[in-house]
Structure 1
Amino acid sequence: MKIIELPIAFEFNNQKNYIYPSLIILENELTLVDTGYMNFLPLIENEIMNNGYEMKNLKNIIITHYDDDHIGALYDFKEKYPWINLIASDRESKYISGEVKSERLVQAEETIEHMSNTEIEFGKWFIEQLNQLKHVSIDEKVQDGDMILDNNCRVVATPGHTSGHISLYFPRLNSVITGDAAVHENQELIIANPQFCLNLEKAQQSLIKIKNLKAETYYCYHGGKVHF
């Protein structure tokens, strides 16, 4: 069993950016954690295949939380590879499937009312991005402490960034996939975009929670992996 990060390069506001979805390899089965923005399916496919793996072996996709840079290509993955088992927390599943209006969309719509004229354009664009996300039903709904992937991975509830956010702990590998519960910056784990956290106090508690796991390696979606 091993975890590799998939550096996905893209341009945003005329600047080069990266996200780092994780790929879990368990015997010959693959599990992808988070799917990037809309239209990122080919970028992620190419990175998986460049690492020597075949898409036919992609068994699961785990979603850490409902944000457009994490679930944007989820619908495309499920449409192209219908056998994939989709895993997310029970709470986030309701937003991903469209049963409940997402917290992020509610937050964006409330925030735009108080934005300055210079910020409103971005606010409108962001709301449009969220509204364009296609809903997908989740196959496997998980909660804090659940053991998944043949008991090799423990689900860790890390609310704050969103209320149903999860991270993933791998005791055998002494590794954590953080989602947006932490980002890697200058060899440190810090809170991702505090201004967008739905509950900053819970986000701080969740950061402490995953730091207390004292893993050797943290795989951060933003900033890439960090070793301690």
Structure 2
Amino acid sequence: MKIIELPIEFEFNGQKNHIYPSLIILNDELTLVDTGYPDFLPLIENEIMKNGFDMRDLKNIIITHYDDDHIGSLYDFKEKYYWINIIANEIESKYISGEMESERMTQAKEILKNMSEEEKRFGKWFVGQLENLKHVPVNEKVQDGDMILDNKCRVIATPGHTSGHISLYFPGLKSIITGDAAVKENNDLVVANPHFCLDISNAKQSLNKIKNLKAETYYCYHGGKASL
């Protein structure tokens, strides 16, 4: 079993950006963690194949939480690779499947009300991004402490960024896939995008929770791999 990060480079507002979805390889089967922004399917496919893997071996997609940069291409993956098993927290599953309006959408609409006219252009664009996300049913709903992937991975509830955010702990590899529970800055772990956190107090507790597991490697969606 191993984990590799998939560095995805893209431009946003004329600036170069990166995200780092993770790929888990277990018994010749692939599990992708998070799917990037909308239309990122080809970018992620290319990175997986560049590492020598066959997309036909993609068995699972795990979604850490409902945000457009994490679920943006989920619908495209499911359309193309219809056999994929989609795994997410019970809370986030309601947003992913479209049963409920997401917390992020509710937050975005509230913030938009209090924005200046100058800021509203971005606010309206962001709401539009969320509105355009296509919903997908979740096949496997998980909660804190669940063991998945042949009992090699423990689901860790890391609320704060969103209520149902999860991280993934691999005791055998001494590794954690953090999602947005942490971001790498100067090879340390800090709270990711605190201004977007729905509960900053919970986010700080979740950061401490994964730090206290004392993993050797943390795979951060923003910032990349950190070895502490």
Q: Give me the TM-score of the superposition, normalised by structure 2.
A: 1.00
State the partner residue of 1:146: 146
State the partner residue of 1:114: 114
SS in 1 for 2:23: strand
Residue 17 (structure 1) shift? 0.2
Q: Deviations over 1:1-59 (max 9, x none)?
A: 00000000000010000000000000200000000000000000000000000000000
In the alignment, the residues of structure 2 paired with residue 168 and residue 116 of structure 1 have an alpha-carbon distance, to the nearest angstrom, of 39
Residue 116 (structure 1) shift? 1.3
In the alignment, the residues of structure 1 paired with residue 9 and residue 73 of structure 2 have an alpha-carbon distance, to the nearest angstrom, of 15
State the partner residue of 1:136: 136
The one-letter amino acid paired with 1:116 is S
State the partner residue of 2:33: 33
In the alignment, the residues of structure 2 paired with residue 52 and residue 44 of structure 1 have an alpha-carbon distance, to the nearest angstrom, of 13
- What 5-or-longer segments of structure 2 have no aligned partner? none
* Pair 1:105-2:102 in alignment: no
State the partner residue of 2:65: 65
SS in 2 for 1:169: strand
State the partner residue of 2:6: 6
In the alignment, the residues of structure 1 paired with residue 200 and residue 116 of structure 2 have an alpha-carbon distance, to the nearest angstrom, of 23
| Deviating 4+ runs (over 2 angstroms) | none
Alignment of 1:32-51 (within 5 A): 32-51=32-51
Q: Give me the TM-score of the superposition, normalised by structure 1.
A: 1.00
Q: Deviations over 1:136-155 (max 9, x none)?
A: 00000000000000000000
Residue 117 (structure 1) shift? 1.7
SS in 2 for 1:172: helix
Residue 118 (structure 1) shift? 1.7
In the alignment, the residues of structure 2 paired with residue 57 and residue 20 of structure 1 have an alpha-carbon distance, to the nearest angstrom, of 20
Matched residue count: 228
State the partner residue of 1:52: 52
State the partner residue of 1:214: 214
Q: Deviations over 1:54-90 (max 9, x none)?
A: 0000000000000000000000000000000000000
In the alignment, the residues of structure 2 paired with residue 181 and residue 134 of structure 1 have an alpha-carbon distance, to the nearest angstrom, of 24
Residue 222 (structure 1) shift? 0.1
In the alignment, the residues of structure 1 paired with residue 194 and residue 43 of structure 2 have an alpha-carbon distance, to the nearest angstrom, of 28
In the alignment, the residues of structure 1 paired with residue 121 and residue 214 of structure 2 have an alpha-carbon distance, to the nearest angstrom, of 42
Residue 188 (structure 1) shift? 0.9
* Pair 1:195-2:210 in alignment: no
In the alignment, the residues of structure 1 paired with residue 177 and residue 114 of structure 2 have an alpha-carbon distance, to the nearest angstrom, of 35
* Pair 1:17-2:17 in alignment: yes
- What 5-or-longer segments of structure 1 have no aligned partner? none
Alignment of 1:170-189 (within 5 A): 170-189=170-189
In the alignment, the residues of structure 2 paired with residue 51 and residue 40 of structure 1 have an alpha-carbon distance, to the nearest angstrom, of 17
State percent identity of aligned pairs: 75
The one-letter amino acid paired with 1:157 is A
In the alignment, the residues of structure 1 paired with residue 227 and residue 62 of structure 2 have an alpha-carbon distance, to the nearest angstrom, of 23
**How large is the Cα RMSD of the aligned pairs?**
0.4
In the alignment, the residues of structure 2 paired with residue 45 and residue 197 of structure 1 have an alpha-carbon distance, to the nearest angstrom, of 30
The one-letter amino acid paired with 2:127 is I
In the alignment, the residues of structure 2 paired with residue 101 and residue 112 of structure 1 have an alpha-carbon distance, to the nearest angstrom, of 16
State the partner residue of 1:83: 83
SS in 2 for 1:25: strand
